[in-house]
């Protein structure tokens, strides 16, 4: 069954979705009134939040370009949301038309819209799965025929690990994903933090409890730990605008105001 909008009937449109709120802040069209209401409430508390969302997307694009330069041509983008303008497949396929992308999201609306947006793109698809079930994600990505885990790939976790509470053992989830990757693979993470944040930002983050995916803020040390023993690229795990900006003028005077750290790590082959 489908709604008049062509979406699966089981989708609950009475509760806001983190993916659709994110889409709204990025200027996308794949959101509903319930999402816009929550977004406006959050924006009233933190007027720069839309800029924060854009900063996260810009960090992801810069990281993808670095991976492309390193020869990566396949990407597993977990917690992708709705692939609006400038998302991973557009950046990757602009450089390599045969680059392959598997988007993964927990939100059925995000996945349904992704299928619409990716129609006719034989090198990209979207699957419905929960990051807390990494083995299922790996199985589905493999079954898609687009990801070859015997070759290096880019695992992208932009703005998603903070949706896993400590009780669900995010470190174990990340370890499972890292273990599936071939040497030469890369891991990209951006994650919200409480460090250097004003109280109004912390209060706004707590509004995420109204969605099905509440945010857990973590320290730089905690976020760094998610990379395991992989080699973290320079400049390390830093406030997102500080990670390899395209030019010095792109760095905000107060990069900490965007409320998240970002980093990229490489899986180096063990010596011997």
Residue pLDDT, tens place only, 9-60: 556 677 777 777 777 776 677 778 888 888 787 777 665 666 777 888 899 9
Q: Is 153 helix (H, G, I), strand (E, B) or coil?
A: coil
Q: d(Cα 17, Cα 13) in Å, to the nearest integer?
A: 8
Beta-sheet pairing, 260-266 with 238-239 = antiparallel
**pLDDT score, position 272:** 41
Tell me the pLDDT band of 211, cut-offs 50, 70 and 90: low
Give the right CATH number for 49-202+217-267 from 3.40.50.720, 3.40.50.150, 3.90.1720.10, 3.30.420.40. 3.40.50.150
Q: Residue 140: phi, psi to the nearest 5?
A: -70, -40
Q: d(Cα 38, Cα 32) in Å, to the nearest integer?
A: 10
Residue with the bigger pLDDT between 166 and 14: it is: 166
**pLDDT score, position 264:** 98
**pLDDT score, position 37:** 86
- Which pTM does this prediction carry? 0.84
Percent of the chain with pLDDT over 90: 54
Residue 267: pLDDT over 60? yes
CA-based nearest residue to 191, from 23, 46, 52, 38: 52
Residue 201: pLDDT over 90? no
**pLDDT score, position 4:** 43
When the pLDDT of each residue in the chain is averaged and rounded to a whole number, the result is 86
Beta-sheet pairing, 231-232 with 124-128 = unpaired
Which ranges of the chain does DSSP label H, i.e. alpha helix?
18-25, 33-45, 49-69, 88-95, 108-117, 134-143, 170-179, 199-206, 220-225
**pLDDT tens digits for range 66-107:** 999 999 999 999 998 876 666 899 999 999 999 999 999 988
Q: What's the average model confidence in pLDDT over 187-212?
A: 72
Q: What's the average model confidence in pLDDT over 127-134?
A: 96
Q: d(Cα 81, Cα 157) in Å, to the nearest integer?
A: 11
Asked if 124 and 91 count as a contact pair (C-beta separation under 8 A), the reply is no
Q: What's the average model confidence in pLDDT over 218-233?
A: 97
**Other CB atoms within 10 A of residue 66 CB:** 17
Beta bridge partners of 127: 104
Query: Which two three-digit tokens encode residue 104?
Result: 């993964």
């Amino acid at each position: 069954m489908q709604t008049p909008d062509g979406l699966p009937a089981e989708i609950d449109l009475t509760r806001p979705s983190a993916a659709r709120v994110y889409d709204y802040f990025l200027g996308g069209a794949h959101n509903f009134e319930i999402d816009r209401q929550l977004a406006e409430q959050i924006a009233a508390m933190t007027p720069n939040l839309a800029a924060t969302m854009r900063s996260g997307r810009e960090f992801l694009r810069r990281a993808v370009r670095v991976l492309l330069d390193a020869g990566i041509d396949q990407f597993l983008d977990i917690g992708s949301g709705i692939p609006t303008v400038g998302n991973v497949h557009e950046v990757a396929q602009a450089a390599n038309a045969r680059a392959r992308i598997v988007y993964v999201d927990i939100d059925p609306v995000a996945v349904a819209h992704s299928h619409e947006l990716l129609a006719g793109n034989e090198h990209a698809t979207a699957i419905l799965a929960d990051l807390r079930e990494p083995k299922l994600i790996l199985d589905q990505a493999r079954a898609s025929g687009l990801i070859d885990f015997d070759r290096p790939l880019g695992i992208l976790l932009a703005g998603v690990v903070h949706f896993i509470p400590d009780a669900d053992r995010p470190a174990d989830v990340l370890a499972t994903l890292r273990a599936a990757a071939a040497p030469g693979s890369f891991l990209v993470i951006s994650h919200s933090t409480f460090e250097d944040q004003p109280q109004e930002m912390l209060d706004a983050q707590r509004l995420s409890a109204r969605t099905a995916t509440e945010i857990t803020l973590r320290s730089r040390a905690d976020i760094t730990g998610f990379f395991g023993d992989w080699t973290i690229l320079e400049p390390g795990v830093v406030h997102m605008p500080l990670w390899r900006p395209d030019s010095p003028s792109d760095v905000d005077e107060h990069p900490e105001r965007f409320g998240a750290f970002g980093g990229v790590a490489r899986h180096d082959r063990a010596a011997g």
